[in-house]
Amino acid sequence: MNMPNMKIISLIILAAFTASLSTGCSSGPKIPPGQSAAEIAVKAEPKKGYHPPDAGSPSYGGGPAEQMSPANPSGPMTVIDYAALYNIVVWLEPVTGTVPAGSPHILTAQSPGTRGADEANILVGTIGDQLVIYNRSPKIDTFYLRFDDGAVLNVGSIGGNARGIYILRRPGLAAIVSDSLDKVCDRIFVTPSPIYKVTHCNTAVTFNPVPPGDYRLKSWHYRLPGTSTSLTLAPNKVAKATVVIGVNSLPKVP
């Protein structure tokens, strides 16, 4: 290779190196000017010191497949598989002020429903979303939301073979209850902030773009305690944090 060709190759390498410095060569999200982003790692942590009983022992109630199967409702409890924990809700809640909501999502439920009060695969939405309930009965029925803290909100009456639309206004976990059937048709979790995502363990979620400021990073799971921690988002930067789902953070019972 002659000297002119060597100089050309050197100039190409130098130009590529300079371009990489100017762009940062970052694999992170591209943030709009003046905005922020957050990358959240989501993990699940089994109870420390716990070891499941061996098959055949007196306290063994079957493996996860047996205890979670609808065909075997006599199992002592539902086994939580920390290696495959789904339907984890993660959201950013502003410490002060509010975040403008986008277009409302539509969540649908029906009565009689195919899911009950103990079904973990529940509906997830935020304040301002629309809950559409389909009354499959030929008769008029009244529906309401019964929250875990005891609060009850009247959804209203829906004619037979018709649908009703209700705007979600209160955060929390609620059961959608049919008055005539006196049973839960479905369950819904409402986040207080529109900055939320539903994910599973051992993965990561990205919120981008997000207005800079101070937030509470929160999480919720149907069967495990939620978490809450502070997170500050600086302009034009990516904040990183980890959410750990489990019971190890709970205070020990004396």
pLDDT in tens, 146-204: 999 999 999 999 999 999 999 999 999 999 999 998 888 899 999 999 999 999 999 99
The answer to whether residues 91 and 34 belong to one domain is yes
Check residue 223 and give its pLDDT: 86
Check residue 93 and give its pLDDT: 96
Check residue 119 and give its pLDDT: 54
The answer to whether residues 171 and 118 belong to one domain is yes
Check residue 62 and give its pLDDT: 47
Range of the domain at 211: 1-99+195-254
The answer to whether residues 8 and 94 belong to one domain is yes
The answer to whether residues 90 and 116 belong to one domain is no
pLDDT band, very low/low/confident/very high, at 216 (cuts 50, 70, 90): very high
The CATH code of the domain that includes 79 is 2.60.40.1120
Instruction: Report how far residue 127's alpha carbon sits from residue 131's, in angstroms, rounded to the nearest whole number.
Output: 10
pLDDT band, very low/low/confident/very high, at 247 (cuts 50, 70, 90): confident
Residue where a domain stops, chosen among 162, 192, 222: 192
Report, in angstroms and rounded to the nearest whole number, the Rg of the chain calculated over CA atoms: 25
Check residue 191 and give its pLDDT: 96
Q: What is the pTM of this model?
A: 0.77
Number of structural domains, the chain? 2
Residue where a domain stops, chosen among 166, 192, 218: 192
Residue where a domain stops, chosen among 159, 176, 192: 192
Q: Which residue has the higher pLDDT, 48 or 144?
A: 144
The answer to whether residues 128 and 167 belong to one domain is yes
The answer to whether residues 17 and 48 belong to one domain is yes
Would you say residue 220 has pLDDT above 70? yes
The answer to whether residues 208 and 140 belong to one domain is no
Check residue 13 and give its pLDDT: 53
The answer to whether residues 186 and 208 belong to one domain is no
Whether 155 and 134 have beta carbons less than 8 Å apart is answered as no
The answer to whether residues 3 and 84 belong to one domain is yes
The CATH code of the domain that includes 142 is 2.60.40.420
The answer to whether residues 95 and 202 belong to one domain is yes
Would you say residue 26 has pLDDT above 70? no
Would you say residue 4 has pLDDT above 70? no
The answer to whether residues 175 and 237 belong to one domain is no
Sheet of strand 172-178, all strands in order from the earlier edge strand to the far edge: 123-126, 183-191, 172-178, 141-147, 152-158
Both tokens of residue 90? Answer: 């993660």
The answer to whether residues 183 and 227 belong to one domain is no
Instruction: Report how far residue 35's alpha carbon sits from residue 210's, in angstroms, rounded to the nearest whole number.
Output: 6
